[in-house]
Amino acid sequence: MSFDNAYESLLGHEDSHWAFGTGFSDALVGVNREFPAGVDKADLAKYCLMLGDDALIFSQRLSEWCSRAPELEEDIALANIALDLLGQARMLLTRAGEVLDRDEDALAYLRDEREFRNVHLAEIDCGPGPGGDFGTTIARLLVFSSWRLALFSRLRGSADPVLAAVAAKGLKELAYHRDHAAQWTVRLGDGTDESHRRMQAGLERVWPFVDELFATHAVEARLAGVAVDPASLRSEVDGVLEAVLSAAGLTRPADTRAARVAGMAGRDGVHTEAMGYLLAEMQHLHRSLPGAVW
């Protein structure tokens, strides 16, 4: 089912995928679009970019598995998860664009690498190309979805009505994402020697990027009552991950942190080498044919 605006799916269409629909003129029809009193709009836009970019970039990574997953059912499952995240990205970028006077397409396709605010976990290259592995993708999905589900659970109480609505709508999808990743983690970790080895290797690959998820950024600190302090999520997410890894017979990797540049990371627009290649592919068509429509 397609919609005339990115927010229409918030109004009760339970059978919808948010990502479907193009060419809307007013992204906030039917949704309370008032900005909370006393909140800095520039900070709110930055926060929406953070959450929107997380979803957009991870959606792009998951879509790379289309036609390449280990079985057809999983091919469809990863594509649907990518669509769910793309739908979240559309609404969050549209909210940011109200302040920045740019639409969702401009924010997705016409920003340069340093303007993106996603965490590194969303962008690192886990496959299916050279050096990638399905076990690593599952490890990343488990961590990312566990973290984002905990975040959205609290974001339902945001003073910003759009953030609260997006969070409330996204909980069901994120619960499925986490459950799907947890089932695969147990299936691989408690499977053959080879599947166990590769699942453990996947955890080792993504774990250095976990700490960044819980680092409080200055924008988040200034948006009390609107944003969620990611540091408050750590114990809940750790508990979920410990339970899944225990059931899978896997070992939690050492808490090694990925290197930062002058103390900065994804939230500051400082990204890994993989980000430039990802954007080159994701933005190529739009930049090659500016203004083109289907």
User: Is 17 within a domain?
Assistant: no
User: Is 16 within a domain?
Assistant: no
Band the pLDDT of 266: cuts 50, 70, 90: very high
Rounded distance between C-alpha atoms, residue 171 and residue 175, angstroms = 6
User: What is the extent of the structural domain holding 83?
Assistant: 38-288
For residue 287, the tally of other CB atoms under 10 A from its CB is 11
Rounded distance between C-alpha atoms, residue 197 and residue 250, angstroms = 9
Tokens 């609260």 -> residue: 164
User: Is 7 within a domain?
Assistant: no
Domain count, the chain: 1
User: Is 28 within a domain?
Assistant: no
Tens of pLDDT along 27-50? 445 678 899 999 999 999 999 999
65 contacts 237 by C-beta, under 8 angstroms: no
Rounded distance between C-alpha atoms, residue 149 and residue 171, angstroms = 6
Q: The pTM is what?
A: 0.90
Band the pLDDT of 5: cuts 50, 70, 90: low
Structure tokens at 291: 């203004």
Q: Which DSSP helix (H) or strand (E) runs through 223?
A: none
User: Is 12 within a domain?
Assistant: no
Structure tokens at 75: 């091919």
What pLDDT score does 129 carry? 64
User: Is 239 within a domain?
Assistant: yes
Tens of pLDDT along 206-245? 999 999 999 999 999 999 999 999 999 999 999 999 999 9
Rounded distance between C-alpha atoms, residue 61 and residue 8, angstroms = 26
User: Is 30 within a domain?
Assistant: no
pLDDT over threshold 80, residue 195: yes
Among residues of the chain, what percentage have pLDDT more than 70? 88
Q: Could you tell me the CATH number of the domain that includes residue 103?
A: 1.20.1260.10
Rounded distance between C-alpha atoms, residue 182 and residue 187, angstroms = 9
What pLDDT score does 261 carry? 82
The rounded mean pLDDT for the chain is 90
What pLDDT score does 4 carry? 53
What pLDDT score does 29 carry? 58
3-state secondary structure 176-225: HHHHHHHHHHHHHHCCCHHHHHHHHHHHHHHHHHCHHHHCCCHHHHHCEC
User: Is 6 within a domain?
Assistant: no
Band the pLDDT of 260: cuts 50, 70, 90: confident
